[in-house]
Every structure is written in structure tokens, then in C-alpha cells.
Structure 1
Amino acid sequence: MDLPYIFGYYAIGYVVTFCALSRSQDRINRTDLATIDLSSPSERLKALVPCYRIAGLLPLLADRCFNNTNCNKLLPHSDFERLDSGNGRNMVEMTPTTVTRFFSNVRKWTAVKEIYDFLDHRIPHAEFIHRSLEKDLGLVFKPRGCKCKPTNCEQLVEALKYVTKALVALHDLSFMHRDISWEKVMRRTERENEWFVCGFEEAVGAPQIYPRRSVRWGSRRRV
């Protein structure tokens, strides 16, 4: 809450705009900083300048990460966990190697399964459906991960490498995650320093390529 602003970006087609979000009393203000058209080769080279400057901030960002000493352990979690948000949303059960999410209705279960079936093993460093439980409206995912943020610059850079590879592959399929955040980045439990992306429930295809699917999958969330 003591951060003066949050740096980010948004994209419309090939046009990417870097921006800053700041709080003003009860409002969130967006300040556009630079706009780049990635369809142009010269603009792509131009984009390297802000990216290079952002890279210089990584050590500072790492210092702001939570100092969670448990993250240095290989298994900083219980082998078996059951989570219930208590507000009617999905139930989650975890084993040492899998994560099972249960859904409240067939429509939601089918929509999520359709997205993951389309992306099945086409995205590196991302969770995938290991087994479907149609009768129980559940989906079993692999790999198992733990929610812990990077604790130093080296871990931050490694995590960003894995996330970037996953998002590049996703965008090559003309899909957008639409809900990417540290809550959707997990550290693998069986490997020392490997990260993966999860939570593709809100993913949506480009309207010009998947007009019907985009409307159906995107109707549950505003862009």
C-alpha cells in the first residue's frame, strides 16, 4: 500500500501502451507513458529501450518481494490440503503431485475444460489437465506448485524467464491469459527453482481468429 504507483502495460492488437497506475483517494488513475506499434520493425526496436530500462529495476523489485524464508525449502507446504473460499467459488484439493479444482455447475466445468483441452501441452511451463472427473465436476491438474514469491533478484529473473516462455507460446496461439499475476505463478514442488503459470480459466482467443469461442469464453469476464 506504500507504493506510489504500479507500472504495467495494456495491448490492443499489436499496439502496446506502457502505463502507470496510481491511487487518488478512492480512484485509480492510469497514466500512459509510451505507445508502441509492434507490427512495425522499427517500433519493435524502439520497444527495446523501455524494456532495457525496466530490466534495471529488477534488483529493486526483488528487494520489495516478501521475505518468505520458507520458500527456500523444497516443499514449503502440506502434502494434502483442502481449500474452500467460503463464498460459493471453487473447492480445491491438493495432493503431493496434483491439484483438483471442483466447479459449482456443468457450464463452468465444461468451459474451463474446453480451454485447457485446446491448450493441452502446447504451452511450456504451464499446468495441464491430468484427469477429468465429470461426475464430480472436477478437473485434476499437474504439476503441483506452491504459492511463494521470489525472495531475491536471481529467483525473480528465473521466474520471469519461465513466465515469459509460457506467455510467448500462449500469444503465438493468439490467446491471452487475461488474469496473469503472481497469484497465477507457482513454484514447482518437486524441483528447486522452476516456475509455471496456472489459472487459464479466463483465457480467451483473438476475436478475429476464434470469433465464436471468444464470445463464449469471454462472456464471463470483462476485458
Structure 2
Amino acid sequence: MVLCSLQCAIVGQARSSFDVEIDGDVKAGANAWLSSLTEDAKRLKKGEKTALIESLTQENNKLQGEDSISKYLEGVDAPTTKKAYQIVWDLAFRCVLDLIFSQARIDRDSCDDCPDFLFILDDVCVFRSEETSPEVSISVAANELCSKLVWGFGSVPYVFGYAASGYNVTLFALHRDDNGVVKNTAIGTFNLKVQEHKFEVVLAILNMALLFPAIVEACPASGKNEFMTITRSSGVVVRLFPTFVRKVFPDTSRLDHLIMLYGQMAAADVPNVDRLIKICYHKRSLSFEPRGTMVRPSNLLELLGALRDVLQALVALHGLGWIHRDIRWPNVIRQREGDSWFLIDCADAATSPQPSFSGQHLSRDEHAPEILWIMAPTLLLLTVGL
């Protein structure tokens, strides 16, 4: 892997759409990294204003969000909470990224299982962060960048992120070593109280932004929708995480039913189904694993494999006296590793036989016609056949 110092060079990709002059002396492996010799880059390196910097800063050379009241705050003790510094980090990163990629999704999340900051371009999280208050070492945030990242990006060489502790920020390239362990390589360290460092951070973001589209293009399906929230018509909120799925229910009526059913399936070791791994009753949430990829079979071999795995699950489930009642492709998920498939979403499962009901997901296009009147194992097998 070839990494570069973002403090002193604008980088891009060969044959990209960006107007970048090539410095022949600093070309890196396979012409992948280029240094910019444009006048804008030269002026930025000297700390001079350009049109882009003018749009990101006020006339007094202070980043947007800072105003004339700053002088009245001199001498006031610096804040000590993590939340108090979010405006500082957002001005350095979020505002610049939002200007460059107006269609991207930027999100902050207080959940312990998510990064603190997510920048998602075309369903791929190409840039993320872990942030702490000033009294916590920045190394804690840097380690969390790696520990929370489950690599699903295939052969993509790296994604990017930053660790922050108060005003101190370190940019990282996040990648896998030869053993598949996620590592971070520091690109630059900045103090956002220092005016020159603010300009250097803008340069660094511009450099990384040149690479984001290429990362998205090379990313496989397993690296997309890493963090995603889906609200179902039933009121259930589904949150996707890299390795598990969390479902938050509008009330507790379904929780007892699902806890009992998944407990029986776990005791009977039912194959090729998702597993209940965490119960949070006061938040009305259940967490399931594994997290797979929602794709349909692309050829006959994959179709036969999916049918085989679903039928194995149904045989075991029917042996317990349960029927699934909602077998359709959105509930048949492919494992991220390997070529196996598994069945999810047993919220509608019931003992057999069972009078049916006309739910929105029970359609003649996706289910056997008889399933609209009565549910039984034979009809579920017919549904799989369709």
C-alpha cells in the first residue's frame, strides 16, 4: 500500500476528472497518486486565500461558525464535554464535505455501536470518526476506529477516518494488514485551535475527497449500507449494523412472542436462520445476527443453494410445530462470507395450522394463492417453490 502526506500534496487518481497537473518526480506506484502543482495548491500551502477558502471562511480568516463574540470569550475555560466540541469538529470536516458532496449523507450517532460521525457516499461509509472529550487520550478514539470497523470493503485498499480529543485531531487511512486485521495509518495531526492547522485540514479533506468516488466504485455489496435505518409500515424500526441487526418495536406485544420462538429455535439448533443475541426490554429492542447481504440469486446455482438452505430451515422449524408465514426474497439473506443463505424475520410465525390474514406483504405475486386463507407447512413449501 502506498500512503502519502496530505499536509503537502493534493492527491488524485490518474485519468480522473479533476484538473490536476502531474509532478513527474512524485508519482507513486502505478501512477495512482499524483501531486498537484496548480496555483491554487501553491497558494494554499502558503496560507493564502483562494476562491474555495473564501467560500469556506469569513473575511476575518476564521472558519464559518466563529463570529465577533469570540473576543468576549477570551479567558473563559475551555469546555470539557464531548458534545461541546461537536461544532468544532463539524466546522472542520462536515461543512467542507457537505460543500463538496451535496448529495452525500452525513450523520451523527450517539449509539455505542456506531462511529460518532458518518460520511456516506452512495451507500458506502468512506469517512468516519471517533471522538472524545479533551481529558480522554486521543489514542482511545484511534483504537475505536479500528475495533468498531468490520471490514466488508473487499479489495478496496483503504477508507478514511479521524480521531478527535477536544481540539486535537488525527486523520487516518483505515486498512487491513496481511492477516485481515483492521489497522490505522496516521496521515496528519492537527490542533484546531491553530489557524494554520485549520487550513491544512481543509487541504487534507480536499485530497481525500478526490479518492472517495473511486472507493465507492470499487466497493462490493458487502461494504454498502453498513449503517442504515429502515422504518417498516408496522412501526418497527430496523437498524443495520456491520455484524448484527437491531429491531425496535412500537410496543412490547411482539417481544415475548419472538423471545419464546427464538429460544425454541436456538434450543433445537434450527439451521440457516438468524439468531437472537440481545434483549433490551425497556427499549423494546431485540438484536439479531448475523448481518447478511440482501441480494437475490444471480444464477441457477445460487438459486438452488438458496432453496436448499431455506428448506433445511423450514424442515427444522416445522418439526417444532411452527410456520414462518412470510417467505419472500426480502427475508432470504445471503451470508457475507461463503455462498450460504439464511431465513430472517419470524415476527409473523405461528403454530400450524393457522388461519391466515391479509397482510400487506402477503401477495399472490410472492406467495401461493392458498396462503391468503390458511397457513400450513405444505403451503410454505409451495411458496418456496414459487
TM range (shorter): 0.5 to 0.7
Q: Quick one: distance in 1 between partners of 2:300 and 2:352?
A: 34
**Per the alignment, do residues 156 and 73 of structure 1 end up closer, same or farther by CA in structure 2, a change over 3 Å counting?**
farther
Q: 1:116 aligns with which of 262, 269, 294?
A: 262
Find the residue that maps to 1:129 and give its secondary structure. strand
Which structure carries more strand by proportion?
Answer: 1
Once the two structures are TM-superposed, the CA of residue 165 in structure 1 deviates from its matched residue by 0.8
Once the two structures are TM-superposed, the CA of residue 180 in structure 1 deviates from its matched residue by 0.8
User: How do 1:11-160 and structure 2 match up within 5 A?
Assistant: 73=220, 75-85=222-232, 87=233, 89-120=235-266, 122-160=269-307
TM-score normalised per structure 1: 0.57
- Please tell me whether the aligned partners of residues 228 and 241 of structure 2 are also in contact (alpha carbons under 8 angstroms): yes
Find the residue that maps to 1:93 and give its secondary structure. strand
Find the residue that maps to 1:82 and give its secondary structure. strand
Higher relative contact order (CA 8 A, sep 6+): 1
TM-score normalised per structure 2: 0.34
Once the two structures are TM-superposed, the CA of residue 206 in structure 1 deviates from its matched residue by 3.0
- Please tell me whether the aligned partners of residues 221 and 293 of structure 2 are also in contact (alpha carbons under 8 angstroms): no
How many positions carry a matched residue from both structures? 143
Once the two structures are TM-superposed, the CA of residue 81 in structure 1 deviates from its matched residue by 1.3
Task: Return structure 1 stretches of 4+ with deviation > 6 angstroms.
Answer: 218-222
Q: Quick one: distance in 2 between partners of 1:146 and 1:133?
A: 25
- Cα deviation, 1:89-130, whole Å, max 9, x if unaligned, reads 100111110000010111122222222222225210100101
Q: Considering only CA atoms, is the larger Rg found in Structure 1 or Structure 2?
A: 2
- Cα deviation, 1:34-77, whole Å, max 9, x if unaligned, reads xxxxxxxxxxxxxxxxxxxxxxxxxxxxxxxxxxxx9x946152
Q: Quick one: distance in 1 between partners of 2:234 and 2:302?
A: 35
Q: Quick one: distance in 2 between partners of 1:161 and 1:155?
A: 10
Q: Which amino acid aligns with 2:335?
A: R
Find the residue that maps to 2:282 and give its secondary structure. coil
**Per the alignment, do residues 205 and 109 of structure 1 end up closer, same or farther by CA in structure 2, a change over 3 Å counting?**
same
Q: Quick one: distance in 2 between partners of 1:153 and 1:76?
A: 25
Find the residue that maps to 1:123 and give its secondary structure. coil
Q: Quick one: distance in 2 between partners of 1:108 and 1:187?
A: 26
Q: Quick one: distance in 1 between partners of 2:264 and 2:276?
A: 11
Q: Which amino acid aligns with 2:264?
A: F
- Structure 1 gap segments, 5+ residues each: 1-69, 208-213
- Please tell me whether the aligned partners of residues 258 and 347 of structure 2 are also in contact (alpha carbons under 8 angstroms): yes
Structure 1 residues 145-154 or 111-120, which shifts more?
Answer: 111-120
- Cα deviation, 1:110-167, whole Å, max 9, x if unaligned, reads 2222222222252101001011011110000011012110011111111111111111
Identity %: 26
Q: Report whether the alignment pairs 1:197 with 2:330.
A: no
Residue of structure 1 in register with 2:320 after alignment: 173
Once the two structures are TM-superposed, the CA of residue 88 in structure 1 deviates from its matched residue by 5.2
Q: Which amino acid aligns with 1:157?
A: L
- Please tell me whether the aligned partners of residues 254 and 347 of structure 2 are also in contact (alpha carbons under 8 angstroms): no
- Structure 2 gap segments, 5+ residues each: 1-216, 360-372, 375-386
Find the residue that maps to 1:140 and give its secondary structure. strand
Q: Quick one: distance in 1 between partners of 2:358 and 2:261?
A: 13
